[in-house]
Amino acid sequence: MWRRRYLGYFIAMMLLYILIFVAIYVYFLRRSKDPYGTFHISFNKVHGSRDPPKTEWLNMGLWKDTAVFPEACQALALRLLGAARLKPNGRVLDVGHGSGDSILLQLSHPELAKPSLVCGITSLPAHHHRTRERVNSFLSSADAPDKKPNVLLFEGDAVWRSDDREHPLSPHFAHEFESIVALDCAYHFDTREEFLRQSFQRLTPGGCIALADLCFSTPPGPMFTLFLSRVLGIMPRSNMVTKEQYVRQMNDVGYKNIEMEDITPFVFPGFQLFLRRRGNIGAAFAGVIGWLQGQGLRFVVIKGVKSSDR
């Protein structure tokens, strides 16, 4: 009897957490044209320090060897950039780059091949302007490399529309790319499959795309699909694919040597623990993530290569 009562209490609390999160998301975040804003800066603050944070990461992190948010975020970015096969003096497109930490990482990290060109694009004005400020500050500092790369930043949707000739994925854009990366964001794209097609066209022969992304272990049901696409509005229905379907989509576009790594155990649990430590709203969000994982949500790093004979 007590087990049944405990289970009922647990389910009720989970539903309460979910309802709290949905209410906050729908009535506050989705009403904003810039739903992420700059709230994430506080996530990067060092515990016990009064100094402003030196990083402004915004991803779910790779918590394999750390319990510190910015370290976990950087670890995930490094895992993604490693998968993207960056080349010395290469040209990189960084899509959905947040406040610019992944771009700054490419410009400064000693273990990463230094690019000759980095293009960044984000649809969020606050992130675009903040990235421009931070990149300009770094390139004018003593820490900047002697041979400064060209950095081009754009504000716009990840998917190219026909009326935007200056978009990095436009057929009219001046550059092609050896590497294209999307860090914890491609599940938002409308649609991700179209983004993959356009990216394929803008990659040089032998170029690589890498995404740290969400998909599913089993096909999501109709009510779950409706919840994610309509209620939360975080993922278009067409992006709710299984791991196998994701690989098949990339193969159908034309990518070769496709590799997918499921890193869910090193992402969701650590991120949930971090959120729970931030109070009731964070705990509610952590509860939603746990529920989504129980419904088959998985965090993966996936990459594919454009054949050199293309």
Distance from the Cα of residue 160 to its chain's centroid? 18
Average pLDDT over residues 33-41: 57
Q: Convert the pLDDT of each residue in 273-293 to its tens digit.
A: 999 998 888 888 888 899 889
User: What confidence tier does 48 reach under pLDDT thresholds 50, 70, 90?
Assistant: low
pLDDT higher than 50, residue 23 = no
Q: Which CATH architecture has domain 35-46+53-219+241-272+299-305?
A: 3-Layer(aba) Sandwich (3.40)
Q: Is-contact 139 151, C-beta < 8 A?
A: yes
Specify the residue for token string 């509005």.
233
63 confidence band (pLDDT: 50, 70, 90): very high
Residue 29 pLDDT exceeds 50: no
264: helix, strand or coil:
helix
Of 273, 306, 277, nearest to 289 by C-alpha is 273
Q: State the DSSP string of 76-98.
A: HHHHHHHHTT--TT-EEEEES-T
The interaxial angle of helices 280-294 and 2-24, nearest 10 deg, is 110
Predicted pLDDT of residue 39: 61
Query: Could you report the per-residue pLDDT of 84-103, keeping only the tens digit for each?
Result: 999 999 999 999 999 999 99
**What is the average pLDDT across 53-65?**
95
Q: Mean pLDDT over all residues of the chain?
A: 88
Sign, Cα dihedral of 274, 276, 279, 283: positive
The model carries a pTM of 0.88
